[in-house]
Structure 1
Amino acid sequence: MADRTELDDPSERVVVLVHTDDLAAAEAAGLWTDWTAGPVARGTVAYRDLAALAALDSVIQVDEPKTGRLLIHDSVPEIRADKARKIPPGFSGKNVIVGVVDTGVDIFHFAFRKDDGSTRIVSLLDQTIEHHFEMTGKPTADSTFTLRFTGPAPKEGAARPFQITGPIKVTSTAAEFQAVLEALDIINPGDVTVAGGPLGSQPIVVDFVGRYDPRVVASEQITFDIATNFKFLPTDPPPELHYTVGKVFTQAEIDAALRANDETFPSKDRLGHGTHCLGIAAGDGSQAGASDKEFCCHHAGYYIGVAPDADLVVVKTTLQSDDWVRGARHTFDQAWRPAGAPFKPAVVSMSFGAQGSAHDGTDPAEVALDALVAARPGRAIVAAAGNDGKLVDFSKRPHDQFGGGIHSAKKVLAGKPMTFRFTVEEGDRDPDGFQIWYGGAGRLNFRLTTPDNQPSATIVPVPDTTDPTKPDPTQKFTLAGHAVRVQSVLNRAQNNKHRIVLDIAPPAGGTIAVGTWTITLTETAGTDTPVDCWIQPQATDAHARWITPDQRRESTVEMPASAKNVIAVGAYDPSNGQLGDFSGRGPTLDGEGRIKPDITAPGVGIVAPKNLARDSCWRPDCCVNFYTPEDGTSSAAPHVAGTVALMFEANPNLTFADVFTNLTSTARRPDPDPTPNKPNNDWGYGKVDAEAAVRKSLPATPGAPPAPAAAAVTARADTYRPTAERLEALRERVLASPTGRLLFALVSEHVDEVRRLVNTDRRSLVAWHRMHGPGLLRGLLGRYDDEVPIPAEHDGRPVPDGLGRLLDALAGAGSPALREAIDTHRALLLAVPGASLADLDLLEVH
């Protein structure tokens, strides 16, 4: 929790996750509940009430949300998902929801659209925009509260500015609320709009516009903190001010943005991570284009995800662990369903994690996710195992700058000291965080020593408490110019283990001292004590890592993947079948020592949709990098999430236990197999096999329908055949007639020149796009078995008219041979749109 010394006002409310057996008692002690998931409630509590809340017998744990970090990753045939689609009647995720809790989505990418151009996204929750304030209870008229507004950093690496408002009345109107905010120096008139109110009877909604518009700045960097001064009569219900952030965009709102091509749509995936992961799990491949990996043009139907017909739910998250749970709840609750409509089975994919836990599945966020999955059949959560399994050899240059080398484990002998040493390299500007966990009767004193041998004072462990009458467990001091915080507590309620938390911040405007730092732990109770230490990695900063001899690969699977009811996914390289060196390893460190990861999937060089690619080039679809390759367990997890969607389509009534058993019992063993036919903490149960998992998931009753609307899947099953197969099938049909053979010869002779002209000649490019060439091409490949392969009209316009303009442009810019071919066969070419394959020989060929 936040240090009490940092809170000027004890009424300031802090966000907490509370694991409790008696929610009513917790609320009576001051908890204002926002939502619950099983025994875990998320809400806020005044800092002065923390002690009373934590002291309740019914409260097992009070904790602040953890901050996750992004990991990252195509290999659908490698996991045999293409074969799963051909299991009669065909499975592609129809009537199943794939939810991705991540950095958002590029709604404009065609991989997430239907054939008619509308979106496949049934709901998009953005947890970073629209700030909601709602008053409940009955405060007296003179009750007030204040807000601390923290804005985005003015430039990369700079601190985020903040200011505190003047008192805000609990009866404020929208205009009064807005006036208080605009009185701040860092909020100008026109930067916010406020709606709703008055606050006592209606919620207040704050939206940022102007310089803080989410279309312009990263909305996740705009936050409020609340301090209250509420009064109420003993006979009245206590007042509560609930503050939440989030806006739900409906399918209709997304469709409206697509129709208008409104690129100012406020919810954006600025990092591209969520777009990439969603594309792996459930992109339909309808977007043609090249990839960053190599300039290689592919038409529609090439980059197809695992479950291309699934409904999509997107949650843009803050990466705070309470918002992970909120995102999963949003997917499972399905509030967008029409009244009376049944729930659909749903799988949630999470490609992020945090090392700041005991790695035993007892963190409140993990307990909450476990409860959501256990609540009913047709639910599953899949998470990336993390990218910290590698060992870093500092003697070799160059070496990886981020990730790996973050776990160390030793036994501290009774009555003796033990050292753990870590290396700080140049450019470490952000604070480095450490967590040390141990159990049993042992007691460990702590000391930190800088690279130039300046030691800190010895810190002894104290009972874990938030009672203000007890000693403050957080020790703050300055060591060689660094701000250091250490908290060493005994018997954490969540697992009865002992924890030491260390944070080292660099001197103002500087970096953490380069060199080898030392942590010394001395056992004082006469008991040999095993200890595990983790460094919290960072995505962009040169964070600390243990020296090479002290590093351990094991127990690097992050939360939430270490939860009991979450499927943890490791990563391997599909090009050589080898486990990714970075892939997180188990086991968990609870009493069970559970195998983790549970399963592995492709996670190296995975090509999937790229966000904002439409702006990267003015040339046709095939020459724009609409796809990009990535590595990491972030890429592996959505492969498994898509597989679970196929399993749910085969049998919507699967429980989590069914899903886990069917996935793990059908996994393929690696070659070579380090533990023949047995799971291990590198590979889990092996490589995911979507075909085998789907077959095992089919209902046992002969003739039982595996899922609704199976006929529709059958009708589209061939759409997902590889492009080469579809081209060959179209070629065979066209070559069946003399006129078809002539057309095929014309295309074969001139296609390279036509492609070059469309890429380089502005007039040809405009004509190609105005006739909707990319869409017609996608349709031709997607409907190769239609009797009329090229329609007479497309998007309400006659295709021959557009084709005529394209032929004119090509003749004007092309070679003499191309001009002669166009002049000779123009009438034939213009007669093809709308003609059936059977009538080709009736067309004019000269």
Structure 2
Amino acid sequence: MVNKLLYSFSILFSILLSGSYCQAQKFGFQDVLDKSPTVPTTFCIPKTESNISALNQAEITVKYSTVDWLFVTATPQWIQNAKSNQVISDFYFELAPPRLLADTARVAHYVNQVHDGLGGLQTPFTGKDVIIGYVDTGLDFTHEDFKNDDGSTRVLRYWDHTLATGPSPGTYGYGTVWDSTAINNGTCTSTDSHSHGTIVTGFGSGNARANGRMKGMAPESDIIVVESDLNAPNWTLMIADACDYIFKVADTLGKPAIVNLSLGTYIGSHDGNDPASEAMEAMLDSQPGRIIIAAAGNAGLNGKFHVENTVTTDTSFVWINSNPSGYYGANTIYFDLWSDLTDATFDFGFGADKPSPDFEFRGMSNFHGATSSIGSIIFDTIWNNGNQIATIESYTSIVGSNYNLQVIFTQIDSSSYLFRFMTTNSGQYDLWSGSFLGYNDFVSTNLPTTAQLPAIAYYVLPDSLQTIVSSWNCSEKVISVGNVQNRLGHIDGNGNQYYTAGMNPPGKLALKSSKGPSRHNIVKPDISAAGEVSLAAAPLWVPSIPQAYTVLDSGLLHMRNSGTSMSSPLVAGVAALYLEKCSKAPYTDFKADMIATAFSDGFTGTLPNFGYGHGKIHALNLLLETNFTTFVAGPDGICDEPIILDIGSTETISSADWSDGSNLTPLSTSTPGDYSAIVYNLQRCISYTDTHTVAQFVVPTIDPITQIGDTLYTLSSHDYQWTLDGSDLVGETNPELTVTAPFGSYTCYAVSADGCVVETNLVTLTVGLESIALDEFSIYPNPVRDAFQIKSKSEILHVELIDAAGKKTNLVNNSGLGYSVSHLSSGLYTIIVTTESGVFQSKITRM
């Protein structure tokens, strides 16, 4: 028999924190102090200068802080001594027991199209280079679905809160952390002995490498595992540590990250303002590329365990049944009350009634002002004619802007009594209990008439709302996920058909999915997804247990699970697809886009509501919501100089990666070819431009301008256009230009069919060509028979003769004889003289 604890799939696995209900001012703290006085434990302390100084003097490191709290790891003994000696002003302690809260799901939520890059997407998205951190019961990382193609692990880090051997990461001071090297070389000893964490991770990140089946939502995502200690005190603070750790590892790797929390507690303020929630919200606000996804809870079938009451001067009450199997002992009663501090203006007391048929009031305690004894235990007794009916302890505290009252009936005279919680005066409160938690049920049926019991007119009926888990799940910044039916059933490991009890149709809200809203009436859950009857990776020890075949898939490598524990990693996986496309998107963008693209159907009814939230997540439309248009703008070809290619977009561009390897925008290039770019907006959402082809254009040629008398000449491979002082000369489109006053600066340019332009040198004239020549030099005799002389003010560098046909001949001065033209036939010639001061020309006549 394998010594493992197999997770129960019909009833959520539950580990409840033990806690004392006597002698300690913080409910449950004395028990921790008695049992584990020197074990490093997570605490938070009010953020004051004196507390900061006290921690510094004690050399206790502040792991991180928020506006209100300092988060530390310290021993319960140090906390007790520091508080008793007034070294610290106060500390936060909670008794909030944790609860562990795919192929068809990918179809139901349009994930396959995202994996394939279809439906309007430009490329596939599979979660590559995005981290999903799973805070759960651990992971069997030996399962092939959590390995790369080369057999190496996809798990980057594994922080085991349950293992005290160390080393612990950073400043957290507890647990043991393993890296991928330890996992790959087989030295990591942590694993998943419950199965819950492996299934959850598989549904979010499994890659189907084992047998090609049950691929998760983000099959190429990186994985970080935090194995939670479900027996730890101040458990929610350890979850905040886990989130902080995951985000910090992601930061060092330069990757975005999602944290999946498929676990929670039904006890707490239910407003997202507790210390753990405040810390998580600060993490989300600190930088983009961070998202937290949480399971809403699975208490939809656990009855009416919530009471909400607006208090008036008429004394109202709710009845609570004792529990023979109570968590704090047989026939004890416990409930947890929360109120905004501004609403904690009521007085409270307790009473007892005989049940039907008498419904006789038997006695009551004193009334107490809600905030009259903060931090002290209130001891009460219900008497009836000198007989003790019940003894009660009340623990009051202020947590930030909230008021908390925890009540325990430690001893009762008869389990048949109906026990009252009574309030009067003014204010408002919410309270929770529930026998499914090991606590107590409120009475909601078989109530007496006012004739039987007149006070029943002021009875506060319990309800089935606000059955979601508390803490972070109620934060407006954390995505809370409700659960809809995924499958009706599947073929199990024995080859038998399994069907879900009740045959709830796929797509309908699962019967046990918890309902919102938060205590402050924020819509919760935010979204819903298919989780009920889902299949994902099973720890490899499970198939060795024959009894487990009923929960295994026919391939024996995947197993069944249900609940918001599964719908949460579905949304976490979709969030990884989103952050792969938009790696710098803040959680606010993800939430807004998720809500904007959520879909409804015949099951959801009017949205939003407290079951489906804003609807069902639509992975494809969610990613399409981030699409933006980009294109390459620029010339279609290159002439003889570099061209500029720019990117046009419907959004502000932060950067671009060009196909030639450049990341500069605009891009200067002199190389023809195909150009495209991967473009990122301010949220690093990715868009692919079209391909822009740049051709090599034909570049025309043109000779320098030659001056012959009052005519300028050039020769081009294409057309001609003469200019004067930068403006085209109308009609001057021939190789020569006869210049006339007014003079100026002349050029000629040619344009190819592709639009490439080439232009001559600039020739500037202020007077006629002949006038310039006469002033600078003279030629004699002219007309000439055999030779001529040149008289010049400047040294002559070169002399050239041009005949009527444009043929050029270099002339050389023969000492004493001049420049010979005896070999020329009679006619008119142009002489070009280059001197130190310029180029001049004149005409001669050969006789």
Q: TM-score range by the shorter chain?
A: 0.5 to 0.7
Change (3 A) 1:47 1:639: same
What TM-score do the two structures reach when normalised by structure 1? Answer: 0.58
Q: Are residues 1:38 and 2:72 paired?
A: no
- Aligned 8 A contact 1:389 1:405 in 2: no
Q: Are residues 1:535 and 2:433 paired?
A: yes
Residue aligning to 1:410: 309
- Aligned 8 A contact 1:95 1:649 in 2: yes
Residue aligning to 1:522: 423
Residue aligning to 2:619: 690
| 3-state DSSP of counterpart to 2:368 | coil
| 3-state DSSP of counterpart to 2:512 | coil
Counterpart Cα distance in 1 of 2:656 and 2:243: 23
Q: Are residues 1:16 and 2:43 paired?
A: yes
- Aligned 8 A contact 2:318 2:442 in 1: no
Counterpart Cα distance in 1 of 2:466 and 2:440: 18
Residue aligning to 1:50: 83
568-577 or 649-658, which deviates more = 568-577
* Deviation readout 1:113-148 (Å, 9 max, x if unpaired): 12222211111100110256xxxxxxxxxxxxxxxx
Aligned-pair CA distance for 1:29: 8.7
Residue aligning to 1:748: none
Counterpart Cα distance in 2 of 1:12 and 1:31: 16
Aligned-pair CA distance for 1:349: 0.3
- Aligned 8 A contact 2:346 2:370 in 1: no
Count, aligned residues: 547
Aligned-pair CA distance for 1:423: 6.0
Aligned residue type for 1:36: Y
Q: Are residues 1:275 and 2:198 paired?
A: yes
Residue aligning to 1:564: 476
Aligned-pair CA distance for 1:409: 2.3
Aligned-pair CA distance for 1:331: 0.9
* Deviation readout 1:433-486 (Å, 9 max, x if unpaired): 41123452632222154878886743624647777xxxx335388999999663
- Aligned 8 A contact 1:476 1:486 in 2: yes
Residue aligning to 2:321: 422
Residue aligning to 1:369: 280
Aligned residue type for 1:348: V
Aligned residue type for 2:345: G
Counterpart Cα distance in 1 of 2:579 and 2:529: 19
> Alignment partner for residue 337 of structure 2, among 436, 439, 444?
436
Residue aligning to 1:602: 530
Q: Are residues 1:644 and 2:575 paired?
A: yes
What TM-score do the two structures reach when normalised by structure 2? Answer: 0.58
Residue aligning to 2:92: 62
Counterpart Cα distance in 2 of 1:80 and 1:551: 39
Counterpart Cα distance in 1 of 2:586 and 2:289: 6
- Aligned 8 A contact 2:352 2:417 in 1: no
Equivalent positions of 1:475-624 (< 5 A) are 475=379, 486-489=393-396, 492-497=398-403, 499-504=404-409, 517-523=418-424, 526-527=425-426, 529-535=427-433, 543-549=439-445, 550-559=461-470, 560-574=472-486, 575-590=505-520, 593-611=521-539, 612-616=541-545
Counterpart Cα distance in 2 of 1:464 and 1:493: 15
Counterpart Cα distance in 2 of 1:665 and 1:447: 48
| 3-state DSSP of counterpart to 1:67 | coil
Aligned-pair CA distance for 1:304: 0.7
- Aligned 8 A contact 2:525 2:612 in 1: yes
Change (3 A) 1:251 1:707: farther
Residue aligning to 2:703: none
Residue aligning to 1:139: none
- Aligned 8 A contact 1:422 1:545 in 2: yes
Residue aligning to 1:385: 296
Aligned residue type for 2:92: V
Equivalent positions of 1:742-753 (< 5 A) are none
* Deviation readout 1:245-280 (Å, 9 max, x if unpaired): 2111111111122xxxx8xx5312121111111111
Counterpart Cα distance in 2 of 1:708 and 1:65: 52
Aligned-pair CA distance for 1:332: 0.6
Counterpart Cα distance in 1 of 2:613 and 2:547: 46
| 3-state DSSP of counterpart to 1:83 | helix
Residue aligning to 1:144: none
Aligned residue type for 2:393: V
Aligned-pair CA distance for 1:412: 3.7
Residue aligning to 1:784: none
- Aligned 8 A contact 1:280 1:608 in 2: yes
| 3-state DSSP of counterpart to 1:35 | strand
> Alignment partner for residue 101 of structure 1, among 135, 139, 163?
135
* Deviation readout 1:39-89 (Å, 9 max, x if unpaired): 332223532433787986xx8x73447432111996121111111112232
Aligned residue type for 1:691: L
| 3-state DSSP of counterpart to 1:643 | helix
Give the greater-gyration-radius structure (CA): 2
| 3-state DSSP of counterpart to 2:514 | coil
Change (3 A) 1:102 1:284: same
| 3-state DSSP of counterpart to 2:204 | helix
Aligned-pair CA distance for 1:386: 1.0
Counterpart Cα distance in 2 of 1:420 and 1:456: 13
> Alignment partner for residue 76 of structure 1, among 106, 111, 114?
106
Counterpart Cα distance in 1 of 2:443 and 2:553: 47
Aligned residue type for 2:82: D
Question: As a proportion of its length, which structure holds more strand?
Answer: 2
> Alignment partner for residue 332 of structure 1, among 218, 223, 247?
247
Determine which structure has greater relative contact order: mean sequence separation of CA pairs < 8 Å that are 6+ residues apart, divided by chain length.
1
Counterpart Cα distance in 1 of 2:202 and 2:80: 43
Aligned residue type for 1:442: T
- State the identity %: 23
Counterpart Cα distance in 2 of 1:483 and 1:104: 43
Question: As a proportion of its length, which structure holds more helix?
Answer: 1
Aligned-pair CA distance for 1:369: 0.8
Residue aligning to 1:305: 216
Aligned-pair CA distance for 1:604: 1.1
Aligned-pair CA distance for 1:681: 2.1
Counterpart Cα distance in 1 of 2:543 and 2:584: 40
Aligned residue type for 1:91: F
> Alignment partner for residue 632 of structure 1, among 563, 566, 574?
563
Aligned residue type for 2:317: M
Aligned-pair CA distance for 1:244: 3.2
| 3-state DSSP of counterpart to 1:36 | strand
* Deviation readout 1:324-379 (Å, 9 max, x if unpaired): 011111111117x8xxx641000000011112222111110111111111111110
Aligned-pair CA distance for 1:309: 0.5
Q: Are residues 1:357 and 2:272 paired?
A: no
Counterpart Cα distance in 2 of 1:96 and 1:84: 15
Alpha-carbon RMSD: 4.2
Aligned-pair CA distance for 1:5: 7.2
| 3-state DSSP of counterpart to 1:47 | helix
| 3-state DSSP of counterpart to 1:597 | coil
| 3-state DSSP of counterpart to 2:570 | helix
427-436 or 653-662, which deviates more = 427-436
Change (3 A) 1:680 1:546: same
Q: Are residues 1:680 and 2:708 paired?
A: no
| 3-state DSSP of counterpart to 2:173 | strand
Change (3 A) 1:33 1:520: same
Residue aligning to 1:317: 228
- Aligned 8 A contact 1:105 1:275 in 2: yes
Aligned-pair CA distance for 1:565: 1.5
* Deviation readout 1:392-449 (Å, 9 max, x if unpaired): xxxxxxxxxxx44321223443142423333636686767641123452632222154
Counterpart Cα distance in 2 of 1:123 and 1:323: 17
Aligned-pair CA distance for 1:571: 0.9
- Aligned 8 A contact 1:10 1:48 in 2: no
Which structure 1 residue ranges, 5 or more long, are not aligned?
Answer: 133-202, 206-241, 288-299, 391-402, 711-846
Aligned residue type for 2:256: P
